[in-house]
Amino acid sequence: MTTRFSKEHEAHIPSDGEPAPVDLELIAQGVRMILEGLGEDPERPGLQETPRRVAEMYAELTSGMREDAAQHVVPLPGDKHDEMVIVKDISIASMCEHHLAPFVGKCHIAYIPRDGRILGISKLARLAETFSRRLQLQERLTTDIANTLFEGLKPIGVMVVIEAAHTCMTLRGVRKVEAKTVTSAVLGGFRTDPRTRAEAMALITGKE
């Protein structure tokens, strides 16, 4: 993770495609302002360390912004498999870019290998994690994972389904505590063949 502490705010200088580093001190300044805006005293004992803690938490929750997700899509050498692969229930924790509030849930990834190329399960989980740890929308998170897997592994088809609960919905406003948002991205053979898509969906949802 690229982080830096600055004494004063310096402008981020973009350099050839390099992601901007996290400025923990700038985030901490913003958190102090939020506390003041709430009518709090950021200097009272319970809050003194809060801006720094929040800054470090945001840096961690967005660490995927400073990682190349495609690096995880490396086929397993020597292994060949031609049947559909489904990895269910990959835990994801992401951050809604509209509210900077977390959304958490499960990601399910199905793909049909081409020429036997498969990906280690831990690599699929890392792919989902790298895209999750960014400011996201659930829809974009779903298509980012599907597109990167489709382009990197060149399988016959990819399907990604994410079910997540958004704290910006469950903790406020309408307070639909149980509400879950389900998104899917379907590419290649899963798109053109409804039977294969239905089979994958049944395996993902556990319904026949």
138 catalytic, yes or no? yes
Give the active site residue among 96, 108, 136, 163. 96
d(CA 136, CA 88): 21
CA distances in angstroms from 62 to 21, 56, 105, 145, listed in the order given: 11, 10, 17, 16
Q: Considering beta carbons, is residue 53 or 98 the nearer one to Zn ion?
A: 98
Distance (Å, whole) CA 35 – CA 47: 9
Tokens 């809060």 sit at which residue?
50
Site size toward Zn ion, by CB under 5 A:
4
Name the nearest CA neighbour of 109 among 95, 93, 96, 121: 121
Active site residue 168: yes
Contact region for Zn ion (CB under 5 A) — 62-70, 97-105, 155-163, 175-183?
A: 97-105
Those residues whose C-beta lies under 8 Å from the C-beta of residue 30, and which sit 6 or more positions away, are none
Active site residue 166: yes
Residue 98 binding Zn ion, by CB under 5 A: yes
96 lies in the site for Zn ion, by CB under 5 A = yes
Nearer to Zn ion, 99 or 140 (CB): 99
Marked catalytic residue, from 166, 178, 199, 208: 166
Please report, for residues 36, 43, 47, 77, 186, the alpha-carbon distance to residue 40 in angstroms, rounded to integers and kept in the order given: 5, 9, 9, 57, 48
Distance CA 1, CA 65 (A): 9
Dihedral over Cα of 48, 54, 60, 64: its sign: negative
Q: Which is nearer to Zn ion, 138 or 148 (CB)?
A: 138
The answer to whether residue 168 forms part of the interface with Zn ion (CB under 5 A) is yes
Kindly state whether residue 99 participates in binding Zn ion, applying the rule CB under 5 A: yes
Residue (59 or 96) nearer to Zn ion, CB: 96
- Does 99 qualify as catalytic in the annotation? yes
Give yes or no for residue 180 binding Zn ion (CB under 5 A): no
Report in angstroms how near the CB of residue 130 gets to Zn ion at its nearest: 21
Residue nearest to Zn ion (CB): 168
Binding site for Zn ion (CB under 5 A): 96, 98-99, 168
Active site members: 96-99, 138, 166, 168
